[in-house]
């Protein structure tokens, strides 16, 4: 049987190392931001007959012609075909240090030059959609994303405190179950973000954008899933082994972890297989989201098994855990409606 509680300091050390490296990396290295984080543009075209590789080459050549004070203003571009349609999209990431008014003129210049070149490749090409992300929209996304992440973690922690409210006194609930959830969720978000940003340094198509923010919110929901499974088994075993066949807290926690270990690993492996299939064969537009979810499946499973339960032990190893039993005051009180 895996003795997680005995080796908990090793698991803590791994998480601390990952977290410190992640924070250092996020502060030191430049993030590979999407158009909605860098005031970029995305233009969609409908075509009759065109070579996408030739389009990519021409778009990349135009990049160098768009300058501001003799400085290149387009950080990078990406061109991809839209699955199942005779359409493709051109995304451009701009230097957001340029004054907003001047940047808007440079965006128009890039779009105009790109259309002129594409028109030569296919006279029947049509611009079907143009998305231009301005500074105000980026500010809105940034503020909303931060607020949403904080509120999601808070409400998840509050729910767990209520769900396990009969195990401990109320103040210990706040300090144990809720605190553990907050810590592990922040751990998951930070480490997953680092893995994703690290990958984006080698594969520029993986951007930090609204898809990634959506993935982080999804990660919060899924990360807590394994934690709740382990905690629920702990709750059942506390009820069983605090009244009869008494076991110590570390024995109960180790037993609970081992009873849910196979379920957690098999579930995560199933999810990873599906996500890898989507990453390899799915549409380009959601690959950023899928990669973040793959990293979640790995980190979230690790923290649920090797961090959450050991932290619960350290928070309560000097406490006497007893399951709350409802006091029956009358026969009607036994009724369940």
Alpha carbon distances (Å) from 118 to 126, 221, 233, 267, 286: 9, 44, 61, 47, 26
Lookup: tokens for 288: 């950023």
Fold held by 8-33+137-316: Multidrug efflux transporter AcrB transmembrane fold (1.20.1640)
User: Is-contact 306 230, C-beta < 8 A?
Assistant: no
| Polymer length of the chain | 337
Nearest-10 Cα torsion for 207, 84, 277, 36 = 10
Closest CA to 191 of 37, 26, 306: 26
Q: How far apart are CA 96 and CA 34, in angstroms?
A: 12
Q: Kind and range of the H or E element at 285?
A: none
Write down the number of H helices and E strands in the chain: 10, 6
Residue 136, pLDDT score: 67
Q: What is the pLDDT of residue 242?
A: 62
Position 14 scores a pLDDT of: 93
pLDDT for the residue 28 = 81
Identify the pLDDT of residue 290. 86
Task: Specify the domain boundaries for CATH 3.30.70 within the chain.
Answer: 41-132
pLDDT tens-place values along the chain, 337 residues long: 788 889 999 999 999 999 999 998 888 877 777 777 777 888 899 988 888 888 889 988 898 888 888 888 888 888 888 767 788 888 888 877 788 788 888 899 999 999 999 998 888 899 988 888 776 666 777 777 778 778 877 887 777 777 666 555 545 655 677 788 888 888 888 898 888 888 887 776 677 777 777 777 777 777 777 788 888 888 778 777 766 667 787 888 899 899 988 888 888 899 899 989 988 888 776 777 888 888 888 888 888 889 988 988 888 777 665 554 544 445 554 444 3
- Looking at 3.30.70, 3.90.640, 3.30.1600, 2.30.280, the CATH number of the domain 41-132 comes to 3.30.70
* Residue labelled with tokens 């009969």: 166
Closest by CA position to 161, among listed 151, 149, 176 = 176
* C-alpha angle 161-162-166 in degrees, rounded to nearest 5: 95
pLDDT at 336: 41
Question: Which residues make up the CATH 1.20.1640.10 domain(s) of the chain?
Answer: 8-33+137-316
- The label of the residue with tokens 């406490």 reads 319
pLDDT reported for residue 330 = 52
Predicted TM-score (pTM) of this structure: 0.71
What's the pLDDT score for residue 327?
A: 47
């Amino acid at each position: 049987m895996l003795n997680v509680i005995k080796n908990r300091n090793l698991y803590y050390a791994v998480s601390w190392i990952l977290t410190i490296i992640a924070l250092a990396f996020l502060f030191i290295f430049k993030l590979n931001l999407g158009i909605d984080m860098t005031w970029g543009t995305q233009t969609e075209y409908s075509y009759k007959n065109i070579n996408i590789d030739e389009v990519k080459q021409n778009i990349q050549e135009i990049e160098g012609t768009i300058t501001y004070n003799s400085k290149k203003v387009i950080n990078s571009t990406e061109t991809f075909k839209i699955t199942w349609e005779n359409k493709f999209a051109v995304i451009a990431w701009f230097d957001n240090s340029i004054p907003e008014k001047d940047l808007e003129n440079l965006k128009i210049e890039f779009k105009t030059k790109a259309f002129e070149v594409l028109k030569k490749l296919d006279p029947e090409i049509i611009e079907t959609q143009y998305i231009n992300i301005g500074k105000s929209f980026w500010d809105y996304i940034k503020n909303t994303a931060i607020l949403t992440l904080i509120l999601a973690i808070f409400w998840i922690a509050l729910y767990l405190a209520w769900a396990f409210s009969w195990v401990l006194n109320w103040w210990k609930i706040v300090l144990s179950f809720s605190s553990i959830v907050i810590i592990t969720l922040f751990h998951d978000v930070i480490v997953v973000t680092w893995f994703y940003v690290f990958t984006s340094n080698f594969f520029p198509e993986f951007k930090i954008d609204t898809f990634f923010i959506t993935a982080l919110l999804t990660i919060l929901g899924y990360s807590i899933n394994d934690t709740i499974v382990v905690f629920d088994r702990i709750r059942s075993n506390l009820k069983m082994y605090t009244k009869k066949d008494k076991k110590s807290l570390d024995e109960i926690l180790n037993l609970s972890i081992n009873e849910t270990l196979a379920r957690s690993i098999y579930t995560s492996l199933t999810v990873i297989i599906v996500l890898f299939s989507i990453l390899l064969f799915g549409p380009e537009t959601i690959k950023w989201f899928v990669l973040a979810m793959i990293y979640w499946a790995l980190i979230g499973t690790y923290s649920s098994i090797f961090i959450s339960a050991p932290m619960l032990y350290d928070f309560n190893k000097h406490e006497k855990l007893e399951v709350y039993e409802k006091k029956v005051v009358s026969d009607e009180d036994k009724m369940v409606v």
